Structure 1
């Protein structure tokens, strides 16, 4: 049933041929996905190809499976298959997901260089502009001072990065332990948009116990390997922590605590996309199936 459903979603590309110069397949199926991706991809590539919509398939496996089907087919349509950076960015095990035989040619498959598409929307200037549009009193500098975006990043980064390192190990070894689905609200004590250090540490301690109870590994060594590999990476919070599940809820909580501003999730993302720059993914169409 799942396979037929994915195939049905993929077949919709035929209906979009008159509107799209390139077929774009993505994971997320939330209500705003099509519009959000259309805005982002057109901005990122300076409208290199005309894109009116994208094709959401559900998850990375569905996108990868569909990519495999089209990889060797030349039907005259340009195609790109986009998956979230997810924990591939920490574990670097994309080939384990793609194929046990280690496919080396990834033509047409694009892995986002951040955890998910929402991570690209967490931009200080865009946030300040958005709040400014809805605030009849405060100017940009006052909003910037209240939001204190850099402080928010610093106060959350180490805590959440350490937590997501453990999540990546859970995913790597397929341990079946709840990870990103554990709501970030459970890790907070107030509406400041900053996680509680004590709650994070308790969560980390609990996860370490669960992991070592399920599998015999040198857990501290696994943590060390990942941290050494990624220690030079910039903006760890904004790159490796889920924007959709963790950063967006924290940011909305912070904004609500300082401003009378509470847009629904979908419109919040769309409006941010219109104010962001997406230079980091301007190469998304450099290596497509054509």
Structure 2
């Protein structure tokens, strides 16, 4: 078993790596996710004056936020997921703290190119990339999820807003025998959460009005799905099953391998604000 550090100790460890980094980036998650972050952020900052050789995962979002406030590394840049708050109350960014505008970092690595190229490699090049794209039909891959899963996340945001906490649940709760997705089970979860909120926490009128507002703010489309639904806990587990179904081959890979390989090919445009924030932080340190 390797040595485990708390977040203060992990920040101390980063001091010994400063010769390799222009800036020390602290993230959520744990050491097994480090390669994923290095791949993604390394690509993002390529051809800039910011060198990042090491990333320092220090735990959950509370650990990252606490470290950025209470014991910040002078050369540190802290990166947090948006989580459920992206829907109703985005967290505030600071010069040393960047909060993603999507549910989690995994949301940014899911697109047609990354998914198709990953499948092409896993399939051993037995079919052309174009044939893979046609089979996957990425732009319609999430059609069955859109309304039910988005409504579930809207209701979970109301649960967090009014009850002070929410249960994320897992995607595996919403599959059934012979199906990679069961909309009836999602609706049952929505109904259960509504019963927990109405009328003991909020009125039926407030629930209906808030849900209506969220549906107006966030239309049922792929852009919304890739912003407010957890890529790690929902979209990637669904995609793995969807791809296995479409390609006819069961790719037995841990989620860390999926993330890492998607990070090699994903479009980086949505991460432009993060890139600008890292460079701004670096230039702030240099002045």
TM-score, normalised with respect to structure 1: 0.84
* Aligned match of 2:201: 215
State the Cα deviation string for residues 70-107 of structure 1 (Å, max 9, x = none).
56x8x4x3x21110011221112525xxxxxxxxx721
Distance of 1:213 and 1:36 partners within structure 2: 44
Q: Choose the corresponding residue for 1:123, options 103, 106, 111.
A: 111
Q: Residue 286 of structure 1: CA displacement?
A: 4.1
Task: Say whether 1:170 aligns with 2:156.
Answer: no
Range moving further from structure 2, 112-121 or 280-289: 280-289
Work out whether residues 126 and 272 of structure 1, in 8 Å CA contact, stay in contact via their aligned partners in 2.
yes
Question: Aligned in 2, Cα 1:231/1:123: closer, same or farther, shift over 3 Å?
Answer: closer
Q: Residue 154 of structure 1: CA displacement?
A: 1.8
* Aligned match of 2:185: 199
Instruction: Report the 3-state secondary structure (helix = DSSP H, G, I; strand = E; otherwise coil) of the residue aligned with 1:153.
Output: coil
* Aligned match of 1:35: 35
Distance of 1:51 and 1:93 partners within structure 2: 27
Structure 1 portions without partners, runs of 5+: 96-104
Distance of 1:152 and 1:277 partners within structure 2: 18
* Aligned match of 2:173: 186
Question: Aligned in 2, Cα 1:138/1:253: closer, same or farther, shift over 3 Å?
Answer: same
| Superposition RMSD in Å | 2.4
Structure 2 portions without partners, runs of 5+: none
* Aligned match of 1:25: 26
Distance of 2:228 and 2:108 partners within structure 1: 12
Q: Residue 145 of structure 1: CA displacement?
A: 2.5
* Aligned match of 1:109: 97
Task: Say whether 1:91 aligns with 2:88.
Answer: yes
State the Cα deviation string for residues 153-188 of structure 1 (Å, max 9, x = none).
22212211111001111222344442x2x1212212
Work out whether residues 175 and 211 of structure 1, in 8 Å CA contact, stay in contact via their aligned partners in 2.
no
Work out whether residues 86 and 116 of structure 1, in 8 Å CA contact, stay in contact via their aligned partners in 2.
yes
Question: Aligned in 2, Cα 1:171/1:67: closer, same or farther, shift over 3 Å?
Answer: same
TM-score, normalised with respect to structure 2: 0.85
* Aligned match of 1:99: none
Question: Aligned in 2, Cα 1:83/1:47: closer, same or farther, shift over 3 Å?
Answer: farther
